[in-house]
Amino acid sequence: MNESLFMGKVTAAMTHEIKNVLAIIRESAGLAQDLLAMAGDSGFAHKEKFLRVMDKIDKQVERGAEIVTRLNTFAHVPDHEIRREDLSSVLDEMLILSHKLSRLSGVNFTVGKGSTSVVLEADPMKTRMTIYRLLEFLTPLVGKGSEIQLKAMKNSHGLPSLGLIIKTASLENFCIDGILADPEWNSLEMEFGSENAAIEPSPERDSFVIHFV
């Protein structure tokens, strides 16, 4: 068993435990609400506030369950060296996994919906690493208030590719050629370009396309 597989196996087991914890929190909060409902209107001055707090707990449990489900899916990524998967689903997964990065940087990540299904057959871990590292690299450059849209596409040869469409608050501050000349970008390109993907700017120079190979 390699390190990634081991890490994934342990993480997946832990996500199952967290789901049990979330279920206990939800049921305990629900029971408190049930008891309050049984008591009726008499005697509890802070009923409205209490119900608001219980509602907040329920919503956070839902949010936690969604994150844990995605984390569980992610933990199973190293199970396959090569996997056929829908690229749009991978992007949806990455949106959840990079939520913290988006929140801290103030850059909004979105997934653009394509008209056709794009199926990618590649190393699933490397695909995710490529996307995450690109987002990590680009967020400080595009700046707060910008948007990076990820879109599953097919290139002119019908092969799967990923569009990274960047919408900056002020386009003049965003220099795609500056990014391409950045040494960090070159190292990213070296890292992913040779084995997994070729990364190119669009002819309009306002977006990138990653061609998976």
Partner 1 sequence: MKEFKVLMVDDEEDFVRTLDERMQMRNVDTSVALSGEEAMKKLEEDPPDVLLVDLKMPGMDGMEVLRRAREAYPGVQVVMLTGHGSEADEAEARRLGVFDYLRKPVPLDQLMRTLKAAYKKKIEQAMVAASFAEEGDFESAREIMTGNTKKK
Stretch that binds partner 1, among 19-27, 81-89, 190-198, 205-213 (CB under 8 A): 19-27
Q: Compute how many residues bind partner 1; rule: CB under 8 A.
A: 20
Regarding 20 and contact with partner 1 (CB under 8 A), the answer is yes
Beta carbon of residue 143, minimum distance to partner 1 (angstroms, whole number): 38
If the CB atoms of residues 10 and 24 are measured against partner 1, the closer one turns out to be 24
Site for partner 1 in 54-83 (CB under 8 A): 58, 61, 65, 69
Residue type, 98: S
If the CB atoms of residues 61 and 209 are measured against partner 1, the closer one turns out to be 61
**CA-to-CA separations, 93 to 25, 74, 131, 140, 190, in angstroms, rounded:** 25, 8, 11, 22, 25
Q: Which of 25, 54, 101, 129 binds partner 1 (CB under 8 A)?
A: 25
Asked if residue 147 lies in contact with residue 108, where contact means CB atoms within 8 angstroms, the answer is yes
Residue type, 32: A
Beta carbon of residue 3, minimum distance to partner 1 (angstroms, whole number): 22
Alpha carbons within 13 angstroms on the beta-carbon side of residue 138 total 28
Query: Does the CA dihedral 164-170-172-174 come out positive or negative?
Result: negative
Regarding 9 and contact with partner 1 (CB under 8 A), the answer is no
The pair of three-digit structure tokens given for residue 58, joined into one six-digit string: 């329920």
Asked if residue 92 lies in contact with residue 109, where contact means CB atoms within 8 angstroms, the answer is no
Beta carbon of residue 114, minimum distance to partner 1 (angstroms, whole number): 25
Contact footprint for partner 1 (CB under 8 A): 16-20, 22-28, 30-31, 34, 38, 58, 61, 65, 69
